[in-house]
């Protein structure tokens, strides 16, 4: 029984630690269209190979139901083990985005990949949208997924229940809950 429990704990830790955790941008970050910006992250030992990096705009959508059909920018990252990539925002159609909004976020990989906090991009020339309420909490890594509530916890996608070693109650988006390692074992 103890060996089985140990195996479950080891598996849970390896799954949590293998995630890509975006450390830049964070919620207080301000980018500008027309510039090249840098995204930074930490990758687990099994996070290698090519993945796409996307910049998304919520445009007033609820993070819990956001589908992400279109993106602001996409970068092909040759190997995520590198830990950073440049995003060129100089070719973006500025008429599609407001002068300033805090409804942008980064995703690396598919929907189960790493997410940044929502952050601000300025310099668009399109219609304004209402400001989004902060939906991510800054954790030990400096970023949490949109919809994540517990410090250090991340979510698979915006608004989905957060998982991680924190085990604290969620304070983020309604309906999001943090599941700590202790809860996994019970």
- Domain-embedded: residue 158: no
What is the predicted pLDDT for the residue at 161?
37
- Whether 1 is covered by a domain: the verdict is no
Q: Which residue has the higher pLDDT, 184 or 103?
A: 103
Task: Say if 88 falls within a structural domain.
Answer: yes
Residue 165 covered by a domain:
no
Going from the C-alpha of 82 to that of each of 47, 73, 103, the distances in angstroms are 10, 19, 27
In a domain, 31, yes or no: yes
Q: How confident is the model at residue 5 (pLDDT cuts 50, 70, 90)?
A: very low
Band of the pLDDT at 129, cuts 50, 70, 90?
confident
Q: What is the CATH number of the domain that holds 59?
A: 2.60.40
Half-sphere exposure of 115 (CA within 13 A, CB side): 30
Interacting residues of 169 by C-beta distance below 8 A, sequence separation 6+: 149, 150, 177, 178
Residue 113 lies inside a defined structural domain of this protein: yes
User: Structural domain tally of the chain?
Assistant: 1
> Would the pTM count as exceeding 0.85?
no
Question: How does pLDDT run across 11-69, given as a tens digit for each residue?
Answer: 444 444 458 999 999 999 999 999 999 999 999 988 999 999 999 999 888 877 787 77
Other Cβ atoms less than 10 A from the Cβ of 157: the count is 19
Three-state DSSP class for residue 25: coil
In a domain, 14, yes or no: no
Domain containing residue 26: 20-148
Chain mean pLDDT for the chain: 72
Contact indicator for 31, 117 with CB cutoff of 8 Å: no
Residue 70 pLDDT exceeds 60:
yes
Q: Check residue 32 and give its pLDDT.
A: 98
Does any domain span residue 176?
Answer: no
Model confidence at 155: pLDDT above 60: no
Q: How far is Cα 96 from Cα 32, in angstroms, rounded to an integer?
A: 14
Query: CA-based Rg of the chain, rounded to a whole angstrom?
Result: 17
């Amino acid at each position: 029984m103890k060996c089985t429990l140990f195996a479950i704990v080891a598996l849970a830790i390896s799954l949590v630690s293998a995630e890509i955790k975006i450390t830049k941008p964070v919620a207080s970050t301000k980018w500008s269209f027309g510039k090249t910006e840098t995204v930074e992250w930490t990758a687990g030992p099994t996070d290698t190979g090519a993945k796409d990096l996307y910049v998304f705009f919520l445009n007033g959508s609820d993070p819990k139901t956001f589908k992400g059909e279109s993106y602001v920018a996409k970068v092909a990252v040759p190997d995520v083990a590198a830990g950073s990539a440049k995003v060129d925002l100089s070719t973006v159609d500025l008429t599609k985005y407001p002068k300033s909004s805090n409804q942008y976020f980064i995703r690396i990989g598919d929907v189960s990949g790493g997410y940044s906090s929502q952050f601000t991009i300025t310099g668009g020339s399109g219609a304004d949208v209402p400001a989004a309420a902060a939906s991510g909490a800054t954790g030990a890594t400096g970023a949490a997924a949109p919809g994540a509530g517990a410090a250090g916890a991340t979510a698979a996608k915006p608004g989905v229940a957060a998982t991680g070693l924190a085990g604290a109650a969620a304070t983020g988006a309604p309906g999001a809950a943090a599941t700590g390692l202790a809860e996994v074992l019970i």
